[in-house]
Amino acid sequence: MESLRSKKYKQEFVSTFPGDDSGNLTPRQTPGKLYSKAIPTPVEKVSLLAWSDELAEELGIQKPADQQELDILGGNLVTDTMYPYAACYAGHQFGSWAGQLGDGRAITLGEWETTAGKTYELQLKGAGPTAYSRRADGRAVLRSSVREYLMSEAMHYLGVPTTRALSLVATGEPVLRDMFYNGNAAYEPGAIVMRVAPSFLRFGNFEMLNARKETENLTNLVNWTIDRYYPHLQGEDRVLDWFKEIVERTARLMVEWQRVGFVHGVMNTDNMSVLGLTIDYGPYSFVDDYDPDFTPNTTDLPGRRYAFGKQPGIAYWNLGCLAAALLPLVAKDKLLPALESYKELYWQKYYQMMGNKLGLDKTTNEDTTLVTQFEETLATIKPDMTIFFQLLIDLPLCMENAEAVAEHFKDSLYNDLTPEQSEQLYSLITSYLQRLNRNTITRAASQALMRKTNPRFVLRNYLLHQAIEELERGDNTLFRKLQQAIKEPYSTKYDEFFQTRPEWASQKAGCSMLSCSS
């Protein structure tokens, strides 16, 4: 185990690519540069709110033992071997080209190499302005920082590819935020998260270089990314093969989001990882009542571009933007088939995942009809997604009538079923039980598969909101409990949280809808 202060950090990204080394934090365009040096802006007082022991153990990082090491987590201390920088990238936001964006409130301190030879970027979110902050202050509030810290770790334990979070610190300084961009700005407690990932490279890093016609930089970044993160790809077609693998990883990521009911909320191309990770936790939510049109992001209204049911299609659209950025390196007639392969890959993985959620021995073409019936019925009756699939695990193998079915699933319902809805649910369950009877695996094996696939605990927005409100009052009881619960999402250990969203949370700001500043 090594300390954050004594570690010799690697600087492979900044030593490989051209950057702006001036340290100037004035917002500006940086053509020809892949990053700009950004020294974190000191804060009043860094105090530790949370530390991920498991991630620290994996990386070989000692928990801070004194104030100096804590200061690293808040940007008050930069060691001699660190080179803090903000990356330059662009992106399509809500379907429109946004031009240069970049790390506006994220600063990478350096690259941490583990004893196993793996390298991870350590990045502070909320440590002050950078050259890409535009009109913002580069800070983060406790509200958004708690959400990022807990959710990135929660997704890890759910088995969803994700960036991680090592620490959460308070800054001792207030930050002015207009939560819903409606003119009601207020001061909130400041905080900083240390994020961890092998790389934070996004589709937008490559879009930026193509848009500026910096073909040499684009070529170098693509080759460096492949050498570093896809070293198994060799040969003259390796750029095409790399894109194919990004397509596959992105399809897999979308299936995992749909499996657990996660809605990212802002799937811009600058929020899409070339490693297939969930990246940038903002106005996200888990689905409570099952609704393919649900979006937690106020900025996404009324079009609902990034709604739950649209996420797989948006990923395909975003991959098209990445393919366009690679046109100087790979011919269009090669890229297009690779892009189109996403659809088959996604549906193959999706139906396999749904078969696992339903406890099927295998997923056949006939089973796709059953999956569609589940989707249509759930979209009609809108039960709690997490609780419904948990109740499905222990479904009796004989259900005599619609009333018995409705009774079994009553704890997942937000509203009483109409007679038509009750009959629709009964028809679905009848079809499902008939399919279970054809299973070639035992009932116990089927249920075990369902328990591994369907989470019992998910980090709901109302729980996060309650924990944040308590933390702002100086009480960390619920926060600590959630920090433990996220580590065992498939167990019954935290069944105190196994309930539908309370009625009061359906309209409360921060519980049902959030903004990009969340």
Supply the pLDDT for residue 517: 58
Q: How far apart are CA 417 and CA 338, in angstroms?
A: 45
Residues 6+ apart with CB under 8 A from 68: 5, 77
Q: Which residue has the tokens 């020294």?
A: 39
pLDDT at position 508: 79
What does pTM read for this prediction?
A: 0.97
* Residue-range domain boundaries for the chain: 12-198, 204-355, 364-453, 461-506
Is 284 within 8 Å of 306 (Cβ atoms)? no
| 3-class DSSP assignment, residue 465 | helix
Per-residue pLDDT 10s for the chain (518 aa) are 999 999 999 999 999 999 999 999 999 999 999 999 999 999 999 999 999 999 999 999 999 999 999 999 999 999 999 999 999 999 999 999 999 999 999 999 999 999 999 999 999 999 999 999 999 999 999 999 999 999 999 999 999 999 999 999 999 999 998 877 777 889 999 999 999 999 999 999 999 999 999 999 999 999 999 999 999 999 999 999 999 999 999 999 999 999 999 999 999 999 999 999 999 999 999 999 999 999 999 999 999 999 999 999 999 999 999 999 999 999 999 999 999 999 999 999 999 999 999 999 999 999 999 999 999 999 999 999 999 999 999 999 999 899 999 999 999 999 999 999 999 999 999 999 999 999 999 999 999 999 999 999 999 999 999 999 999 999 999 999 999 999 999 999 999 999 999 999 988 777 877 877 54
Identify the active-site residue in 270, 280, 289, 367: 270
Provide the pLDDT for residue 106.
Answer: 98
Q: What is the model's pLDDT at position 513?
A: 74
Q: Cα angle at 302 between 301 and 305, to 5 degrees?
A: 70
Question: pLDDT at position 370, please?
Answer: 98
Per-residue pLDDT, 510: 77
Q: Which amino acid is at 299?
A: T
DSSP three-state, residue 289: strand
Q: DSSP string spanning 400-460? A: -SHHHHHHHTGGG-SSPPPHHHHHHHHHHHHHHHHHHTT-SS-HHHHHHHHHHHS-S----
CA-to-CA distance for 157 and 76, rounded, in angstroms?
31
Is residue 291 annotated as part of the catalytic site, yes or no? no
Q: At what angle do helices 142-158 and 461-472 cross, to 10 degrees?
A: 140
